């Protein structure tokens, strides 16, 4: 009897184990092998909610002319709810083949070359994210990363053992070529990073042609999970105009989501977000609010109806203070002048010029009218051209020189020293210094800096007119570096000007500035600082601000690029810029009279006379030829009309040799600013006309 019970218990245990194994196997089959099939059934015979993207607000110039706008785009979308299990890779390759035949691109954010030997391409940020995703160390090369991705996405050819284990009638796993492996790895990596799942369709390609869309809609691509949807795409009608400040939009990444969540902002992985410049700065205003669409699916997985349950709300429009006409004139003039110097200037005297920046500000309001950096790039093709743009380490087209470039000002700094001398009472309008070309005050210690000419007994007006070094050496020595620093900051150099975008505030040449870079300070540094050399460093925007402050006789308005914010229909104004005074001058306005007089003299009969000698408007200007470690740069500032200041301009040309080489750029801007007969493109609105 005990043996019978024991045998019975063994049988029960065996049956229990067999049942457990069966259900465990079935569960694994359902979850791992047929998971996609069962997951898709969730959405059959029910309602699926889909996001309806809101139109992004547009970026316009001060008159409503478009700078960044939206246009209709046709996108290829993969919907996992309807994509048959096991067909995903084949569908991707079919789509890639179709796009290649039509010369179109698909989304592939894998920062690895598309051909062997594999190399990294793209930003350091993207490469770091890829290495983190793959779990390799920071020193891993692209070949190692690709090996991991091929394994991760099961793209290796089947082994002999796997082929031998196939049952009769089973289709062997596909064998992919190296090119197909790279294509699939790029798309699958992007899909996973984007959070592709049943409730989150994936945009496979953007802005496809009507022909390609027609081929797909005519079922040349057989998978039911592939659709063509109408959307909007960011478009920059002026291409490279103001590219460095407008910035770019791009795909959001998981690390962006984490940061935004900490800021209390909700984004999805398929959202587009401002990545740089104004697109990033005003993201909250431009973004809008997405809507929701309900899609009804029958038991066969067919869409029977859809309706919008929540209407999307378009983002707000940003109107800049930029005048797109002046901006285009400035960019063209800067490029033309650099090319002219390349063709005609002697070696070492401007022929090597290759880059620069120009800024213009409305003196009365602090509104930036022009902010240009050269060389530039077309924002519309930024991503396609990024590798080449980033690789150009000589011209650095991606570098925003107008905001981040810091330049020794040279002689355009001399009004600072003139004002310091006038405020201290060391000089007045008629005080003179004798210029015999060599400054001998420190001759006993062997330091004898020079001037470019013999000016004899010279006053402040004539010293500004001819840019006499000796005069400013002497005045600078007499007032001292503390007085020079005070004057510089009063005129906006080395202080925050309130601009919305990140920019350099500059460095005033002082003992502290010398110490900051590990150098010593001596008496001769005061002389060199007095003519804008040594540790003086300022951005072109800061130099234009400085020029504006001279014109305002020491009063500084906050610099801004935001004119107003309006709703998408342009019917409601949400914000309007009001002039804000950051620093009210406490200096006697009359002290600026000789500075104005000297800068006008520089234009009429002095260093800029070739360009403004007979100009119909009084222009107050100053030229500079700052020495650098390489060749001299060209710096130029001016404001006009001198009797009723309205516009201040700064021009910097790298390796431009002399300040007057920047004068033609400023003249082109003034010509356009003061002309009532500006040439415009056909169909463009008149200046000052709001187009909506």
DSSP-derived secondary structure for 552-611: TTT-EEPPB-EEEEE-TTS--EEEE----EEE---S-GGGGHHHHHHHHHHHHTSTTHHH
**Which residues lie below 8 Å from residue 178, measured CB to CB, with a gap of 6+?**
116
The C-alpha atoms of residue 653 and residue 659 are separated, in whole angstroms, by 9
Residue 599's pLDDT is 98
Contact 128, 140 (CB under 8 A): no
Q: What percent of the chain shows pLDDT beyond 90?
A: 70
Q: How far apart are the first and last CA of the chain?
A: 99
Q: 60-79 b/e with 16+ CB inside 10 Å = b?
A: bbbbbbbbbbbeebbbbbbb
Alpha carbon of 44 to those of 32, 156, 229, 308: distances in Å? Answer: 20, 34, 21, 19
pTM score of the predicted model: 0.82
Confidence band, pLDDT 50/70/90 cuts, at residue 688? very low
Residue 220's pLDDT is 58
Q: Is the per-residue pLDDT at 562 higher than 90?
A: yes
Residue 218's pLDDT is 76
Confidence band, pLDDT 50/70/90 cuts, at residue 294? confident
Is beta strand 317-320 parallel, antiparallel or unpaired with respect to 433-435? Answer: unpaired
Residue 219's pLDDT is 64
Q: Is the per-residue pLDDT at 28 higher than 50?
A: no
Contact 559, 370 (CB under 8 A): no
Q: Is the per-residue pLDDT at 554 higher than 90?
A: yes
Q: Is the per-residue pLDDT at 310 higher than 90?
A: no
The average pLDDT across 4-24 equals 48
CA-wise closest residue to 210 among 192, 194, 191, 230: 230
Residue 680's pLDDT is 34
How many residues make up the chain in this entry?
A: 692
Residue 300's pLDDT is 64
The average pLDDT across 66-72 equals 93
Question: Tell me, what DSSP letter sits at residue 33?
Answer: I
Question: Tell me, what DSSP letter sits at residue 112?
Answer: B
- Residue 208 pairs in a beta bridge with none
Question: Which contacts of 115-121 are long-range, i.e. CB under 8 A and separated by 24 or more positions?
Answer: 115/179, 115/182, 116/178, 117/143, 118/142, 118/143, 118/145, 118/146, 118/182, 121/387
The C-alpha atoms of residue 658 and residue 626 are separated, in whole angstroms, by 8
Q: Is the per-residue pLDDT at 684 higher than 80?
A: no
The C-alpha atoms of residue 190 and residue 179 are separated, in whole angstroms, by 17
Query: Of 169-183, 445-459, 535-549, 583-597, where does mean pLDDT reach its minimum?
Result: 169-183
Structure tokens at 598: 């000297």
The C-alpha atoms of residue 678 and residue 673 are separated, in whole angstroms, by 8
Q: Is the per-residue pLDDT at 67 higher than 90?
A: yes
Q: Is the per-residue pLDDT at 630 higher than 50?
A: yes
Residue 4's pLDDT is 42
User: 658: exposed, middle or buried (C-beta count within 10 Å: 0-12, 13-18, 19+)?
Assistant: buried
Alpha helices for 142-235 (secondary structure H): 142-152, 160-164, 178-193, 210-217
Residue 650, phi then psi, degrees to nearest 5: -125, 140
- What angle do helix axes 469-479 and 481-490 make, rounded to 10 degrees? 100
The average pLDDT across 350-362 equals 97
Q: 130-139 b/e with 16+ CB inside 10 Å = b?
A: bbebbeeeee
Mean pLDDT in the chain? 88
The average pLDDT across 405-427 equals 98
CA neighbours within 13 Å on the CB side: how many for 447?
11
Q: Is the per-residue pLDDT at 211 higher than 70?
A: yes
The C-alpha atoms of residue 325 and residue 370 are separated, in whole angstroms, by 9
């Amino acid at each position: 009897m005990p043996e019978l019970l024991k045998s019975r218990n063994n049988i029960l245990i065996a049956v229990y184990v067999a049942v457990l194994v069966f259900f465990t196997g079935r569960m694994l089959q359902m979850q791992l092998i047929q998971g996609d099939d069962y997951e898709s059934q969730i959405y059959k015979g029910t309602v699926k909610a889909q996001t309806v993207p809101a139109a992004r607000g547009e970026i316009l110039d001060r008159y409503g002319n478009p700078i960044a706008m939206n246009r209709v785009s046709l996108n290829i979308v993969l919907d996992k709810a309807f994509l048959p299990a096991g067909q995903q890779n084949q569908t991707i390759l079919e789509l890639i083949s179709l796009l290649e035949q039509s010369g179109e691109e698909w989304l592939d954010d894998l920062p690895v070359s598309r051909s062997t030997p594999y190399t990294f391409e793209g930003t350091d940020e993207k490469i770091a994210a890829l290495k983190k995703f793959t779990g390799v160390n920071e020193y891993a090369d692209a070949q190692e990363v690709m090996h991991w991705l091929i394994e991760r996405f099961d793209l290796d050819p089947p082994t002999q053992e796997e082929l031998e284990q196939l049952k009769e009638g089973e289709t062997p796993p596909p064998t992919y070529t190296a090119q197909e492996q790279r294509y699939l790895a790029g798309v699958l990596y992007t899909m996973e990073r984007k959070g592709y799942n049943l409730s989150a369709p994936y945009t496979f390609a953007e802005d496809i042609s009507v022909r390609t869309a027609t081929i797909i809609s005519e079922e040349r691509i057989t998978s039911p999970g592939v659709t063509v949807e109408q959307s909007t795409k960011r478009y920059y009608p002026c291409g490279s105009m103001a590219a460095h400040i407008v910035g770019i939009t791009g795909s959001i990444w998981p690390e962006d989501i984490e940061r935004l969540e900490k800021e209390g902002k909700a984004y999805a992985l398929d959202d587009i977000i401002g990545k740089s410049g104004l697109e990033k700065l005003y993201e909250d205003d431009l973004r809008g609010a997405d809507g929701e669409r309900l899609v009804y699916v029958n038991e066969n997985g067919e869409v029977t109806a859809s309706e919008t349950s929540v209407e999307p709300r378009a983002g707000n429009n940003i109107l800049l203070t930029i005048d797109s006409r002046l901006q285009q004139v400035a960019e063209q003039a800067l490029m033309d002048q650099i090319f002219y110097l390349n063709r005609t200037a002697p070696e070492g005297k401007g022929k090597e010029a290759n880059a620069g920046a120009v800024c213009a500000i409305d003196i009365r309001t602090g509104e930036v009218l022009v902010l240009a950096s050269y060389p530039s790039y077309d924002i519309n093709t930024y991503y396609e051209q990024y590798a080449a743009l980033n690789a150009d380490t000589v011209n650095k087209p991606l570098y925003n020189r107008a905001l981040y470039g810091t330049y020794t000002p040279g002689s355009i700094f001399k009004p600072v020293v003139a004002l310091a001398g006038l405020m201290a009472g060391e000089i007045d309008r008629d005080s003179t210094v004798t210029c015999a070309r060599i400054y001998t005050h420190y001759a006993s210690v062997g330091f004898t800096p020079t001037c470019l000419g013999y000016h004899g007994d010279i006053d402040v007006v004539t010293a500004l007119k001819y840019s006499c070094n000796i005069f400013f050496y002497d005045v600078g020595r007499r007032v001292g570096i503390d007085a020079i620093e005070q004057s510089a900051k009063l005129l906006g150099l080395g202080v925050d000007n309130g601009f919305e975008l990140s920019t350099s505030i500059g460095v005033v040449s002082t003992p502290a500035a010398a110490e900051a870079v590990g150098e010593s300070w001596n008496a001769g540094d005061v002389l060199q600082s007095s003519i804008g050399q040594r540790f003086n460093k300022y951005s072109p925007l800061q130099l234009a601000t400085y020029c504006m402050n001279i014109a305002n006789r020491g009063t500084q308005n906050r610099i801004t690029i935001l004119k107003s914010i309006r709703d998408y229909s342009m019917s409601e104004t949400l914000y309007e810029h009001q002039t804000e005074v950051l620093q009210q001058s406490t200096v006697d306005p009359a002290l600026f009279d000789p500075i104005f007089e000297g800068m006008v003299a520089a234009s009429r009969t002095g260093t800029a006379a070739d360009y403004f000698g007979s100009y119909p408007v009084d222009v107050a200007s100053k030229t500079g030829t700052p020495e650098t470690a390489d060749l001299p740069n060209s710096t130029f500032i001016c404001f006009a009309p001198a009797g009723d200041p309205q516009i201040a301009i700064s021009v910097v040309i790298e390796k431009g040799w002399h300040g007057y080489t920047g004068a033609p750029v400023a003249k082109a801007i003034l010509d356009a600013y003061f002309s009532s007969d500006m040439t415009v493109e056909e169909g463009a609105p008149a200046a000052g006309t709001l187009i909506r």
